[in-house]
């Protein structure tokens, strides 16, 4: 999911191949990794040019009745939710095929959706998550959060990765409302050249919380959003972990959702 040029897929194919891989990416790229991947004898490589928001994995003909592991790094913001939702109509884990299908009737088996048996998705850019796209709204509702409060939580996740707000700008002044970096660490070019006006609640939060206390709050908000995703996968019958796979010195975006079939 979110395959880009496909080099993560190439490493997976090299380490565990030959495999059947379906690379999903909405953009067109030159110098894609499929050129080298196809040299691995027995590998079957496909590329789907489609937005994750429009993808339905169970409708991909070549994946019918297959066992899948869903991978992605990094799936920014709501792309993680779209990737999970794309698999919603698949079978999950060890769920059995319908009783009237058997190994002796492959023409019937081919009509069955694939089975998702593992997920490894590195999440990031939580500040661009949206209530509309989020996969587990019930998780937040059960804790009493409103859609507006979800948006505020997503906005505050930017505090985890925005660095030292007290760092001076090139002319030696301290960072403030006129700084060339937004509270999410975005440059003006990232927002179309103009800063988006903050909601009233966001101004209040900024004024009430000292800057040196914001990073741990940002990390907690990221963890909260990923925990909702974790629980959604658990409800599908998988064992799920939310793991820090590298230190923050390497990358502050260092969480990965790992899901697998329960041990038997």
- What does the pLDDT look like over 216-229, one tens digit per residue? 999 999 999 999 99
Give me the percent of the chain exceeding a pLDDT of 90.
50
Q: How confident is the model at residue 100 (pLDDT cuts 50, 70, 90)?
A: very low
Report the pLDDT value the prediction gives residue 199, as an integer from 0 to 100: 54
Report the pLDDT value the prediction gives residue 16, as an integer from 0 to 100: 81
65: part of which helix (H) or strand (E)?
none
DSSP string, 170-183: TTSPBP-TTSSS-T
Average confidence (pLDDT) over 16-27: 86
SS3 at position 244: strand
- Is the pLDDT at 137 greater than 50? The verdict is yes
Distance separating the N- and C-terminal Cα atoms of the chain = 28
CB 154 within 8 Å of CB 225: yes
CB 8 within 8 Å of CB 122: no
- What does the pLDDT look like over 52-64, one tens digit per residue? 999 999 999 999 9
How far is it, in rounded angstroms, from Cα 32 to Cα 10?
10
- Is the pLDDT at 104 greater than 60? The verdict is no
pTM attached to this predicted model: 0.77
Report the pLDDT value the prediction gives residue 206, as an integer from 0 to 100: 64
Average confidence (pLDDT) over 98-118: 64
Average confidence (pLDDT) over 137-157: 96
Lowest mean pLDDT among 11-20, 75-84, 136-145, 218-227: 11-20
- Is the pLDDT at 106 greater than 70? The verdict is no
- What does the pLDDT look like over 150-204, one tens digit per residue? 999 999 999 987 654 343 333 333 333 333 333 334 333 333 333 344 555 565 6
Report the pLDDT value the prediction gives residue 169, as an integer from 0 to 100: 38
Average confidence (pLDDT) over 242-257: 90
- What does the pLDDT look like over 68-93, one tens digit per residue? 999 998 889 999 999 999 999 999 86
SS3 at position 91: strand
């Amino acid at each position: 999911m979110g395959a880009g040029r496909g080099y993560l897929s190439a490493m997976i194919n090299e380490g565990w191949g030959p495999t059947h891989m379906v690379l999903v990416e909405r953009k067109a790229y030159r110098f894609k990794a499929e050129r080298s991947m196809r040299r691995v004898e027995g590998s079957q490589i496909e590329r789907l040019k489609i937005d994750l928001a429009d993808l339905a994995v169970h409708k991909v003909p070549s994946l019918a009745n297959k066992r899948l592991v869903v991978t992605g790094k990094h799936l920014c913001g709501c792309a993680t939710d779209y990737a999970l939702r794309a698999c919603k109509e698949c079978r999950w884990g060890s769920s059995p095929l319908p009783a009237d299908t058997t190994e002796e009737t492959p023409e019937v088996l081919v009509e069955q959706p694939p089975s998702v048996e593992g997920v490894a998705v590195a999440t990031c850019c939580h500040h661009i998550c949206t209530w509309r796209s989020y996969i587990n709204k019930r998780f937040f509702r059960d804790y009493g959060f409103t859609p507006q409060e979800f948006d505020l939580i997503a906005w505050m996740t930017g505090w985890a990765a925005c660095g030292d707000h007290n760092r001076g700008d090139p002319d030696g002044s301290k960072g403030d409302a006129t700084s060339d970096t937004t509270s999410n660490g975005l440059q003006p070019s990232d927002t179309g050249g103009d800063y988006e006006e903050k909601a009233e609640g966001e101004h209040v939060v900024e004024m009430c919380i000292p800057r040196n206390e914001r990073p741990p709050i940002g990390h907690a908000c990221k963890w909260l959003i990923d925990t909702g995703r974790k629980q959604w996968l658990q409800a599908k019958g998988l064992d799920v972990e939310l793991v820090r796979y590298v230190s923050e010195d390497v990358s502050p975006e260092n969480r990965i959702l790992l899901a697998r079939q329960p041990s038997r």
